[in-house]
Structure 1
């Protein structure tokens, strides 16, 4: 049974999970659009792995550079996801890489070509945020992309590590479009097909700055 406990952090409340009390299964954000629900603690909440993980995170946020290998990790995923997470864990502190770069590394280890899109899905499914540093993966054009803990958390983590964040990178940061969400809607419909009610509803549920801007631009055309 997975046991989950809380851990405070400068980027919001984190939820640590362990299946056996000895290895860390997850470190999840409660912030962002993919934030996990807060759990109930249990009698096993004082397992040593949680103290180890909290100590690791404390040192990280204090500006130290703890290595993921210092913790006994037990992420649950497919063989492909595990191969992606292994590459992520090796990204040096304070450096950023692209999804294409990760795809090349994964392809080399698996002996077959891997797409950046497939890698993006595995990066988004990373269950060990911060510890397996998916926040160090950015878009090919240097823009920030979707992050489970929210883009503010991603910026904070990168700045903590000394990564210079230009104003352009911040303003162009976008969330990964959902398959059937507002981002797809604004990309496939024409301005004349938007009624004021639809525009209002889509704006309320848009999941990215880019989506909201596009909606506003289309609204001006239809007004």
Structure 2
């Protein structure tokens, strides 16, 4: 049996879900392309995991850098999806990577080549938004691509982490390689053309 609780955040309403009250199965937005319904209050809504998850999220939104490993997580997915989510969980706070970079890491871990397109599907199926930081994955050209909570939420999360992202119909991040290698990208500034800003 799943238990779900509602939680507010600076980037929108979230639904936290657990099977056993001890491990977090999902953290989903109620808005965006994959928005989920707000749950009914249940008898087990005060299970320990929900307090832990809310504390983790509060620290994240306060500018701290909590590690996903601090929470007992229980996402459900295929072996491939789980391998992608493990790579996502290791993306450093304040940095962005490309789908191609994630595909290379997953391929190395699995011992076989992986496509960026397949990775994109697994990233889009991430049930633990914010906690497993899929918002840190961007297109090879710096485009924001999609996000389950909507692009406004993705921009807000990246900006919270200190990544300046342009706003407008065609975001074009100016990128420089990070210390983690040439394929790990970090947006460092926004174009100075005010016409590109909202």
Change (3 A) 1:147 1:176: farther
Contact 2:27 2:129 in 1 (8 A): yes
Counterpart contact for 2:15–2:27, Cα < 8 Å: yes
Instruction: State the secondary structure of the residue aligned to 1:50.
Output: helix
Deviation at 1:166, TM superposition (A): 2.8
Deviations 1:149-169 (A, max 9, x none): 000000000000000113468
Per the alignment, do residues 181 and 58 of structure 1 end up closer, same or farther by CA in structure 2, a change over 3 Å counting?
Answer: closer
Unmatched 5+ residue regions in structure 2? Answer: 192-198
In structure 1, what is the Cα distance between the partners aligned to 2:159 and 2:188? 36
Please, what TM-score do these two structures have when normalized by structure 2?
Answer: 0.85
Asked if the contact 2:166–2:173 (Cα under 8 Å) also holds between the matched residues in 1, the reply is no
In the alignment of these two chains, the number of paired residues is 191
Give the Cα separation in 2 of the matches to 1:13 and 1:37: 10
Distance 1:62 1:183, change over 3 A: closer
Residue 41 of structure 1: how far off its partner (Å): 1.8
Larger Rg: 1
- Tell which has more relative contact order, 1 or 2 (C-alpha 8 A, sep 6+): 2
Relative to structure 1, the CA distance from residue 31 to residue 183 in structure 2 (aligned partners, 3 Å threshold; closer, same or farther) is farther
Q: Which residue of 2 aligns with 1:17?
A: 17
Q: Note the aligned Cα RMSD (angstroms).
A: 8.8
1:119–1:186 Cα change, 3 Å: closer
Q: Residue deviations 1:35-72, cap 9 Å, x none?
A: 11111121110000000000000000000000000000
Partner Cα separation in structure 2 for residue 153 and residue 5 of structure 1 = 20
Unpaired runs of 5+ residues, structure 1, are 192-223
Greater helix fraction, Structure 1 or Structure 2:
1
Q: Does the Cα contact within 8 Å between 1:7 and 1:15 map onto a contact in 2?
A: yes
Tell me the equivalent position of 2:85.
85
Q: CA deviation at 1:183?
A: 28
